[in-house]
Amino acid sequence: MTIKQGDTLPEATFTVPGPDGLESADTASFFKGRKIALFSVPGAFTPTCSAKHLPSYVDKAEELKTKGVDAIACTAVNDAFVMGAWSKANGADGKVTMLADGNGSFAKAVGLEMDGSKFGLGTRGQRFSMIVNDGVVEELNVEAPGEYKVSSAEHMLGQL
């Protein structure tokens, strides 16, 4: 079943690259008491994700926070080492928290998996964004296959 507006995020654990190594973050703790702009990409270092998706949130980080967002987070079915390197390569450190969903358990739990096998990617998370307030989905924007519109930071700014 696909998550929808008004639903509470399901239980899942991410791996987060931190200054002292890898850390764990579970959905209940990470999203508790905060409004978070969460976006999902099919993969770090992939063309649209690197050229448009992550940069949109890095560029609009201050505007999102001005509109009431406490934190910005990105998730992908990649390991935390790749997510950390991608963050550094794109100047996202300190602006976007990278939530590695290495086994795809979060993507599966929210019902937003995709099959990227024809591109050699295997099972991944779809491209989407959410505004999550205290663990509850307030807005959900799921892209059509091959699209990049409604999951952008610019679109999310219009929802806040």
- Of the residues 12, 36, 49, 61, only one is catalytic, namely 49
Q: Three-state SS across 92-142?
A: CCCCCEEEECCCCHHHHHCCCEEECHHHCCCEEECCEEEEEECCEEEEEEE
Which residues have a Cβ under 8 Å from the Cβ of 76 and sit 6 or more positions away?
40, 41, 42, 43, 44, 49, 83, 100, 101, 124, 125
Note if 74 is an active site residue.
no
pLDDT at residue 86 in the model:
93
Confidence band of 21 (pLDDT split at 50, 70, 90): confident
pLDDT in tens, 31-61: 999 999 999 999 889 878 788 899 999 999 9
Category of 146 on φ-ψ map: left (φ > 0), alpha (ψ -120 to 50) or beta: left
pLDDT at residue 124 in the model:
81
Q: Where are the domains of the chain?
A: 13-159
* Average pLDDT score over the chain: 93
Gyration radius of the chain's alpha carbons: 14
pLDDT at residue 129 in the model:
97
Cα distance between residue 126 and residue 134, in whole Å:
23
- Integer CA distances (angstroms), 105 to 8, 32, 69, 75, 159, in order: 16, 20, 25, 11, 27
**Token representation of residue 71:** 């934190």
Cα distance between residue 137 and residue 140, in whole Å:
7
Is the pTM higher than 0.85? yes
- Regarding the domain with residue range 13-159, which homologous superfamily does it belong to in the CATH classification? Glutaredoxin (3.40.30.10)
Q: How far apart are the first and last CA of the chain?
A: 26
Q: Say which range, 11-15, 35-39, 76-80, 112-116, has the weakest mean pLDDT.
A: 112-116
pLDDT at residue 1 in the model:
72
